[in-house]
Amino acid sequence: MSKTLSGVIAAIATPIEESGAPDLARAMKLARFLLDNGCDGLNVLGTTGEATSFSLAERKAVMDAYKSNGLPLDRLMVGTGAAAVSDAVALTKHAAELGFAGALVLPPFYYKGVPDDGLAAYIDVLVQATAATPIPLYLYHYPAMSGLPWHRALIERLLKAHPTRIVGLKDSSGDMNYARAAAAVKPGFAVFPSTEAALFDARRGDFAGCISATANLNADLCQRAWASGDAASLDAAVTIRKLFEGKPLVSGVKALLAHIHGDQALGRMKPPLAPFSAADRAAVTAGYDGVRARKVA
């Protein structure tokens, strides 16, 4: 199996064509830029990547593009969770066969309040389906969106059942107490909080790094914080993240990507998400430019 990922990982946005299909050319260009400018890895087709808004065929096409364009799959994890177990199996098998370093697995998110037995059975099916090509599995904990937590007792159960296959967890709950509890379940269990604010904790060994939506925008600053403990860079990176407080994060990230790269098509959204408002775009852009000007100065 691949080595466990670590460091600064961007939850990469997925550019969208006017037709609503994934814009594969822009996606590859953005991926290369991020990998060349501070990202140790990428989380492809996560929440920021609007994965659940795409069909099975579209998600597979995005994965295929990373492979066919020669992106370093050993630095990439890809979201393969789905409400239908058969879809999750198809996506996870596809990721494994292509050679992605890991699969990030949301719980099956439509039915709420399901028992641990049901969630354990879901993971059992994924593990068995990929036994021939045993891709590492990362649990995706985002209860505000999925409605289903990977709580500590369930993590312990899954690690006991599949000790070599469940290697880590992305925590998008924002609850650092939960993140620390998850990381303490087993030595070497790779937990990634969803904010770059945790990078100094990760440098101390508490976490494996971070998987952040805003690393699309501040990966260079995050990398300086991660690699050398540069406090000023971390402060600037966190300040950029805070620009989105109280605003829709995914459309905001894409609006700012459009500004940074001078390509308005990068701001296009897949329904049901809507573009960032003009007022929010103006405020966030001004804030970002201000942070960058101060950092350079």
- pLDDT for 105-132, tens place per residue? 999 999 999 999 999 999 999 999 999 9
Tell me the one-letter amino acid at 161. Answer: A
Q: Which of 93, 170, 254, 295 is catalytic?
A: 170
CATH superfamily of domain region 7-228: Aldolase class I (3.20.20.70)
Q: Tell me the pLDDT tens digit for each residue of 219-232.
A: 999 999 999 999 99
Whether 170 and 194 have beta carbons less than 8 Å apart is answered as: yes
Is 66 one of the catalytic residues? no
Is 138 one of the catalytic residues? no
Q: Tell me the pLDDT tens digit for each residue of 18-56.
A: 999 999 999 999 999 999 999 999 999 999 999 999 999
Give the pair of three-digit tokens for residue 19.
């037709």
Share of the chain above pLDDT 70, in %: 98
> Structure pTM?
0.95
Q: Which of 66, 138, 140, 288 is catalytic?
A: 140
Which residues are CB-contacts of 200 (< 8 A; sequence separation ≥ 6)?
A: 225, 229, 234
**What pLDDT is attached to residue 4?**
77
What are the start-end ranges of the E strands in 153-223? 166-171, 190-193, 209-212
Distances (CA, A) of 1 to 41, 134, 154, 161: 17, 6, 23, 17
Give the pair of three-digit tokens for residue 198.
């945790």
Query: Which burial class, exposed, middle or buried, applies to 169 when counting CB atoms under 10 A from its CB (0-12, 13-18, 19+)?
Result: buried
Q: Tell me the pLDDT tens digit for each residue of 151-166.
A: 999 999 999 999 999 9
Region 196-206: mean pLDDT is 97
